[in-house]
Structure formats: structure tokens, C-alpha cells
Structure 1
Amino acid sequence: MADVATSSGPPSAADRPAVRRLAGFARVLGSVVVTIFGLLALTFFIGRMLPLDPVLAILGDDAGQEAYDRMYRQLGLDQPLYVQFYTYLRDMLSFNFGTSLASGRPVIEDILRVFPATVELATVAMLLGTAVGVPLGVLAAARHGTWVDQLVRVVALIGYSAPNFWLGLIGLTLFYASLGWVGAPGRIDVIHQWDLEPWSGLYLLDTALAGQWDVFSDVFSRIVLPASILAYGALAYIARMTRSFMLEQLGQEYIVAARAKGASRAAVIWGHAFPNIAVQLVTVITLSYAFLLEGAVLTETVFAWPGFGRYLTTALLRSDMNAVMGCVLLIGLIFIGLNLLADLFYRSFDPRTR
């Protein structure tokens, strides 16, 4: 009887953290499932609401009625809407995005082929934006109210306001056409394309590991300008958020105490204040990376960069709805995954949020 009473009682103190972690994991999992379902529903109904006929997109405007009806049934458009949505869910959850009308290949194959180019471009841009944006934000906060602070704020404002495609055109005109400091648009010279043996799809990494430094130089000369254009927008956001976080910390009492004890200015800023904003910066940088991955559409178009953004633009212009909906779904999944990653970093680095 005593054993039965003990087993049916409330969980012990040692079990409660595990129960809370399990409940937290269940909440996160439930939130992810609901978000993915909502994303799938949104992409499906947007695809059905667009004034585009998928049958005519496949057969052309001169298709006969018999061929039109046969393709209409083949695509399942004669089925009730809920049956079409069920089929769409089943296909999407198995990463079956259909066949691209432009390339004739499965959309998932096209995405896997072009996505590494965008990852490489966004990663280089993120490294540049972080390496410059964080010190600028710290400097602006440390020199609050001075001309340095005003200059950093103006630089960030321009980065927010200037369109990427305009900056890209100006950059190509100045640094490529006039000065010749960077390579031509495109990802790699056609001469080197046959010498490259990509295994990861990241050309800088592949050429460095293979010791093909002449090809590496060509790839680097072509990526540096579009990556810098993308990095400018990320830099502006990161610098602004870093400045805001640092100003909040520099006004805390522990900073006053550190200064009263005779700590140097550098020690106060980098040894006391900056570690306390590192967690927030991780979240900002992670989400900025997500925006770079999906926001490189115009930059890739201007620089003829064969990446995910250019593929999506081409699919939109050709009314290739299978490719468009597959890309939209992938963008949503990227944001969900990086949001979860940012939350995980936040909880790992800040014990107060666990």
C-alpha cells in the first residue's frame, strides 16, 4: 500500500526540472508544428488565388481543349479543394515540390543546386557585417553624443535606406568598370569552371581545400562586391542594435562601480559591458543571417549570381508556381529553424532564461 501511494504521489524535487524541460520541449514542438502547418496552408491558398493558370503555363496558350482537360485532371485540379490540400501537404512533408516548368527537373534538385551559392554569399556578408558592425556599435555607444556617434548613426541610416540594387549598380560601375578592383558579375569565370570539383557547393571552401588558389582568387574577386553590398545592410542593423544594447549597459550601476574602482575605459567597455550584451547580439546576428539568406534576390539579379534568389526571381517571371511555392516554403523553414537556433543560443548563454 505504501509503495502504491508513493508511486501515485507528486513528482519529487529531482524529477520536477525534467518534467519542466519535457513540457517546454512539447510546447516548442507544438509551436513548430502549428507554424509549419500554417506556412503550408498559406503557400497553398496563395498559389490557388494567384491569377495564373498552371495548365496554360505547362501547355502554352495554344493548347487544345482536349489536351487542356487531360492536363487539368493530371494535375489533380478537378479534385475538391480539401483533397488538393491533403495531397499538397503529403507532397511537401516528403519534400516533393513537383517539377519545375523551366528546367524540367524536380524543384528540390534545382534548390539543392542553387542554394549553396546563396549560403556562401550570405555567410561572407554576415562575417563582414558582424566584423564591422559590432565594433562600430560599441564605438558609437562609448562616444555617445559626439561626432563619432553621429557619424556611425548616419552610416547606419544610409545602410537602412539605400536599395541594394542601386548600391550594386553603383558598385559595379565604380569598382568593376572604372577601377577594375573586383571581378565581373557571375560566380566563377567560365575558364575555371571546368577545373573546379565542388563537393560542398561553396566555391571558396572547395578551391581552398583543393589548393586551387588561382580559382580561389577568381571566385573571391567576384564575391567580394555583392557580399559587401549585402553586408552593408546587415552592418547597419547590427551596429544600431549593438549601440542600443551598449548604451543600456553603460548606464548600469555596476559600470559606475567599475569606474570608481579605477578600471580603464577599455576594461569597462569590453570586460564588463560587452559580455552582458553578447547573448542579445547572438540573437540579432542569427536573425540577420536569415534575412540575408532570403533577401539576396535583387543583389543576385544585379550580379548575375546563380543562387536561390535569382532562381526564385526567374520562377516568378516564368509563372513556375511549383518552383515559387517550393522556394517560399524553404524560406519559411529557414526562418523557423534559425529562430529556434537563436532561442537555443539565448538559453545556453543566459541561465536566467532556462
Structure 2
Amino acid sequence: MLGLIGKRIISAIPSVIGVLVVTFLLTRALPGDPAAFFAGPAATQEAIEQVRHSLGLDKSLLQQFVVYLTDLAHGDLGNSVATGQSVLTEITTRLPASLELTLIALLVSVAIAVPLGVMAATKPGSLIDHACRIVTTAGVSLPAFFTGLLLIYVLYYQLGLAPAPLGRLDIFFSTPTRVTGFYLIDTLLDGDPEAFIGAVKQLILPVITLAIFTMAPLARMTRAAMLEVLSSDFVRTARASGLPKHKIIYTYAFRNAMLPVITTLGMVFSFLLGANVLVEKVFSWPGIGTFAIEALIASDYAPIQGFVLTMALMYVALNLAIDVLYIVIDPRVGFEA
């Protein structure tokens, strides 16, 4: 298994390098002049040139890229011109907020979509099957940001059932001592149950928004995979042998249907990281997506490059985890690889 992991990591290196090159070139193609933006509307041409020189934008693209790679090799992602902070510090501070939201939304989505897909496959044409189709249709049809705005309008503005969408914690609670960056964990470590409940309440609307967005592909793939496995010869043989129905479904059929579901789960996680960018903005969530949008508006190169690099590394780690799960579920995959 270690050899397979090593091969996957080595094979991912060209992809990461390609992401670096493409991101570097695309950020330089953004409209507007960063030097003029940060110099201010009343700045003279001489002042703009001074800012451009301080940012290193007066060098050729090749020289800028070499400087960027040199800094990256030393663990320096640069500084945000807009905030004056290190990009690495900004990312490590904001990333736990995005991961907490993404992971909880993914857990909620899996907890609902996978059982729903299994029940729909075992009872085709039933009310559960129709409910599964409604969920998948709604999830595909509704953009995440629209669902978020709709939930805010109905549950917060009209009914007053949800807290104000103003970040990770209500203003009446103090920020917990930073240990993991995950408020649900840090509030418990602080021994503050009221702040924990407050953090849970703030998560409800954005989690529902992202869960609705991701339940559709998971439920659809689970249903399709289970239908295919349930019609296979070994399942018919198990039924003919008199094995209990629950054992056939969950021990034999579901395990064989898990591989395509896990593949879809990896894609869904990628979708969540992308959808986070808009959902964080809707709910004023101080995550890495909000950081990237603000940097993009300001044509701040270093944060954009740091954001894309972080996402690329997370995708590599995600694909590696999926490969390992493949081997755990079906050891034959490792030998075939």
C-alpha cells in the first residue's frame, strides 16, 4: 500500500506544477492594474510606478515566475497587499472555517443521501423512490447561493427560526481559544456549552444549503449502483440460498456498490469546495472562499495563487484518500493498480 501511495503522490506532482503555471498566468491576465488599484485614484503616474516596482510587477513574466517559485520553495506564499498579512497566515487561519463547514455538510449529505439511495433501489417505484428523484432533481436544479438566500429569507427574515447569517458565532459569544480552528471542537475544549450551541446554530443554514446541493449526485449514484448490483448473478444466488434480506443488501450488495459511490463522494467534496466560495459570501462566513473573492476583486495576486495552490493540494490529498479507501473496500483494486 505504501508503494501505491508513493506512486500516486509522484504522479500528482506534474498536475500541481501545471496548476502553478496556469494560475500564475491567469492571475496576470486579470483585468485592471493592481499597482493603480493600490496606489489609489488620486495617485500620480510616478507613484503608480513605485507601487508596481515594490510589487515586482515591473519584471518580466518569467522573472516573476522564478521569484514566485523560489519563495514557494522556502514556504513563502507572499503577502496580501490588501491586508498586509502573510498569505500563509491568512490561509491557515481561514481554512479551518471552510473545512468545518464543508465536512459537516458532507456528513449530513452522506447520512441522508446514501440510505435514501439504498432504500430507493430496494423498493423501485415506491414513495421512497419518488422522494429520491425529487431530492436529486431539486439538488441539481437549485444553485447553492440561491438556496442559501431562500433559506435566509424564509427561516431568518420571515419566521425568525434561524440566527442571523453573520459568521461562525453570534456576537454575544466570545471567540474560543484557538486549538484546532474548528469552533465545534474548540468551544468544547474551552468547556463552553453555550458557545458550542451557538456555533451549531450558525452552521445550520449553510450546512443545509451545501447538503441540498450535494445530496443529488450521491443519492442518484447510490441508487444506480445498488440497482446494478442487486440484479447481478451473485445476489440472485444469495437469495436462492436463503440468506436474510438485510444481509444480502448491506453485506454483499452495498459493499460492491460502494466503489462508484466513493468516487462520487470525492467529486462531491470537490464541488463543495467550489460552492463554498459563494455560500461563504452569502452567510458572511470567514473562510478561505471569502478570502479568495476579496483578493480576486482587488486583483491581489499572492492570495489568489495561494488559494488555488491550497485547493490543488487538497484535491491531491483527497484523491489519495479515495485510492486508499478503494484498497480497503476491495483489495483486488490494489493488485490491479
Q: Which residue of 2 aligns with 1:189?
A: 170
Aligned to 2:27, what secondary structure does the other structure show?
Answer: helix
Q: Which residue of 1 aligns with 2:306?
A: 326
Q: Which residue of 2 aligns with 1:298?
A: 278
- Residue 205 of structure 1 deviates from its aligned partner by 1.0
**Residue 114 of structure 1 is aligned with which of 83, 90, 94?**
94
Mark the runs of 5 or more structure 1 residues left unpaired by the alignment.
Answer: 1-17
What is the rounded CA distance, in whole Å, between the counterparts of 2:7 and 2:199 in structure 1? 44
- Residue 66 of structure 1 deviates from its aligned partner by 2.8
For 2:211, give the aligned amino acid: A
What is the rounded CA distance, in whole Å, between the counterparts of 1:225 and 1:213 in structure 2? 20
Matches within 5 A, 1:250-261: 250-261=230-241
Q: Deviations over 1:118-168 (max 9, x none)?
A: 111111101100100100110111112344323311211110110112111
For 1:207, give the aligned amino acid: T
Q: Which residue of 1 aligns with 2:258?
A: 278
Q: What count of residue pairs does the alignment treat as equivalent?
A: 333
Sequence identity of aligned pairs in percent?
Answer: 37
**Residue 39 of structure 1 is aligned with which of 19, 30, 45?**
19
What is the rounded CA distance, in whole Å, between the counterparts of 2:66 and 2:21 in structure 1? 10
State yes or no: 1:341 paired with 2:321.
yes
After superposition, the CA RMSD in angstroms is 2.1
Aligned to 2:134, what secondary structure does the other structure show?
Answer: helix
What is the rounded CA distance, in whole Å, between the counterparts of 2:316 and 2:23 in structure 1? 15
- Residue 48 of structure 1 deviates from its aligned partner by 1.7
Confirm or deny: 8 A CA contact 1:115 1:307 kept in the other structure. Answer: yes
What is the rounded CA distance, in whole Å, between the counterparts of 1:261 and 1:348 in structure 2? 27
What is the rounded CA distance, in whole Å, between the counterparts of 2:305 and 2:162 in structure 1? 35
What is the rounded CA distance, in whole Å, between the counterparts of 1:26 and 1:147 in structure 2? 47
State yes or no: 1:211 paired with 2:162.
no
For 1:91, give the aligned amino acid: D
**Residue 144 of structure 1 is aligned with which of 124, 128, 147?**
124
Q: Which residue of 2 aligns with 1:154?
A: 134
Compared with structure 1, are the counterparts of its residues 353 and 157 closer, same or farther at alpha carbon in structure 2 (3 Å cutoff)? same
Aligned to 2:212, what secondary structure does the other structure show?
Answer: helix
Q: Deviations over 1:212-258 (max 9, x none)?
A: 11111111111011101101112111111111111111011111111
Aligned to 1:192, what secondary structure does the other structure show?
Answer: coil
For 1:80, give the aligned amino acid: S
For 1:135, give the aligned amino acid: P
TM-score norm. by structure 2 comes to 0.92
Confirm or deny: 8 A CA contact 2:135 2:216 kept in the other structure. Answer: yes
What is the rounded CA distance, in whole Å, between the counterparts of 1:284 and 1:93 in structure 2? 34
For 1:190, give the aligned amino acid: I
Structure with greater Cα Rg: 1
Aligned to 2:161, what secondary structure does the other structure show?
Answer: coil
For 1:115, give the aligned amino acid: L
Mark the runs of 5 or more structure 2 residues left unpaired by the alignment.
Answer: none
- Residue 76 of structure 1 deviates from its aligned partner by 2.8
- Residue 27 of structure 1 deviates from its aligned partner by 4.5
What is the rounded CA distance, in whole Å, between the counterparts of 1:110 and 1:316 in structure 2? 15
Confirm or deny: 8 A CA contact 2:30 2:299 kept in the other structure. Answer: no
Matches within 5 A, 1:55-66: 55-66=35-46
State yes or no: 1:268 paired with 2:231.
no
Q: Which residue of 1 aligns with 2:63?
A: 83
Confirm or deny: 8 A CA contact 1:283 1:343 kept in the other structure. Answer: no
Confirm or deny: 8 A CA contact 1:200 1:206 kept in the other structure. Answer: yes
Aligned to 2:239, what secondary structure does the other structure show?
Answer: helix
- Residue 37 of structure 1 deviates from its aligned partner by 0.8
Confirm or deny: 8 A CA contact 2:106 2:269 kept in the other structure. Answer: yes
